[in-house]
Amino acid sequence: NAGVTQTPKFRILKIGQSMTLQCTQDMNHNYMYWYRQDPGMGLKLIYYSVGAGITDKGEVPNGYNVSRSTTEDFPLRLELAAPSQTSVYFCASSYPRAGGGEQFFGPGTRLTVL
């Protein structure tokens, strides 16, 4: 299993540009998440999904959109990039179990907005 994969690894955007961060998992996990990590900080939840067709906002959703059309894929869309969105973005997935399942993380996408 490849686990959780993310593309691209790095990206530089200009203010106002748009892009989609891709995330795919091959573990048949129902739950998927997007987090951002600012320098020297912990991670903050942007959006999450408990299954195909179901998404919900996390702690810091402004400026982002998501969709979940399949179990495997959970893309994150930035519509109008701003310098405040410079961060490292991590996608994660987990399986539903009583008490919560272990989360598995992708390698991250490092985004710079200039």
Partner 1 sequence: KQEVTQIPAALSVPEGENLVLNCSFTDSAIYNLQWFRQDPGKGLTSLLLIQSSQREQTSGRLNASLDKSSGRSTLYIAASQPGDSATYLCAVGGDAGNMLTFGGGTRLMVKP
Q: Considering Cα of 27, then 68, then 64, then 77, what sign does the dihedral take?
A: positive
* Residue 11 interacts with partner 1 (CB under 8 A): yes or no: no
Single out the residue of 31, 34, 64, 74 in contact with partner 1 (rule: CB under 8 A). 31
Identify any residues that bridge with 22 across adjacent strands, giving them in sequence order.
7
Instruction: Specify whether the CB–CB gap between 106 and 89 falls below 8 A.
Output: no
- For the bound state, the minimum distance from the C-beta of residue 50 to partner 1, rounded and expressed in Å, comes to 5
Single out the residue of 48, 66, 76, 111 in contact with partner 1 (rule: CB under 8 A). 48
Identify the H or E element spanning 38: none
Single out the residue of 101, 111, 113, 114 in contact with partner 1 (rule: CB under 8 A). 101
The token pair that represents 50 in the structure block? 């408990």
* Residue 74 interacts with partner 1 (CB under 8 A): yes or no: no
Write the CB contacts of 40 (distance below 8 Å, at least 6 apart in sequence). none
- For the bound state, the minimum distance from the C-beta of residue 16 to partner 1, rounded and expressed in Å, comes to 28
Interface residues with partner 1 (CB under 8 A) are 31, 33, 35, 40-45, 48, 50, 56, 58, 90, 92, 94, 96, 99-108
